[in-house]
Each structure stands twice: as structure tokens, then as C-alpha cells.
């Protein structure tokens, strides 16, 4: 989760525009092929990653619902931009 701040100032103006972008990462359905070793294709039906442990532990990378590593789950990044304009005197 990174937060960036951009400040823009136009020449001859007392206005400053500031925008912050906040990124939120969410892990969706599991995409691990459980039948790859026999040449098939079968998913387990897990619809969302649920961490098995606290942040910073090994369990945080394992899904409590299906037991797969977090990398097997589809990653969704949601970017939210918040803009704030103000007048500098």
C-alpha cells in the first residue's frame, strides 16, 4: 500500500492543487489448477483469499479457505484519487 502525493503550482497563480492516490490490494478467487499433474483442469472454488495468520507471519501468505499460497489468487488493485485545491495567500 503506497501513497503518493503530487503538488502542482501554476505560474502567476495563488492556487495549488494537491492529489493523493491510495492503492488498495485485494486478492480474489483462487486460480490454482489442482489437476495439472494429470493433464486436467480443476479449480477448488475458493472465491476470496482469507489470510490464515497475522500480518508479518508465514500464515499471512496462506489462504485459510483453500490452503493455497496467496500468489494463486487473482490480484485486484483499486486506485482511489483524492484531490484537494486550496488558495495560498
pLDDT in tens, 38-78: 999 999 999 999 999 999 999 999 999 999 999 999 999 98
Strands 3-9 and 73-87: unpaired
Q: How does the average pLDDT of the chain come out, rounded? A: 82
Spatial neighbors of 41 by CB under 8 A, at least 6 apart, are 33, 35
Is 27 within 8 Å of 76 (Cβ atoms)?
Answer: yes
Q: pTM of the predicted model, to two decimals?
A: 0.64
Helices (H) and strands (E) in the chain, counts: 0, 3
Q: Could you tell me which residue, 7 or 68, shows the higher pLDDT?
A: 68
Rounded average pLDDT over 11-34: 80
Q: Compute the distance between CA of residue 58 and CA of residue 27 in angstroms, rounded to an integer.
A: 17
**Predicted confidence band of residue 1 (pLDDT cuts 50, 70, 90):** very low
Amino acid at each position: 500500500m503506497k501513497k503518493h502525493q503530487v503538488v502542482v503550482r501554476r505560474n502567476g497563480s495563488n492556487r495549488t492543487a494537491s492529489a493523493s492516490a491510495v492503492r488498495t490490494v485485494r486478492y480474489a478467487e483462487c486460480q490454482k489448477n489442482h489437476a495439472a499433474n494429470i493433464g486436467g483442469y480443476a479449480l477448488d472454488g475458493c472465491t476470496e483469499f482469507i489470510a490464515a495468520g497475522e500480518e508479518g507471519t508465514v500464515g499471512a501468505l496462506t489462504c485459510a479457505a483453500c490452503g493455497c499460497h496467496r500468489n494463486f489468487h487473482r490480484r485486484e488493485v483499486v486506485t482511489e484519487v483524492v484531490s484537494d485545491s486550496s488558495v495560498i495567500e
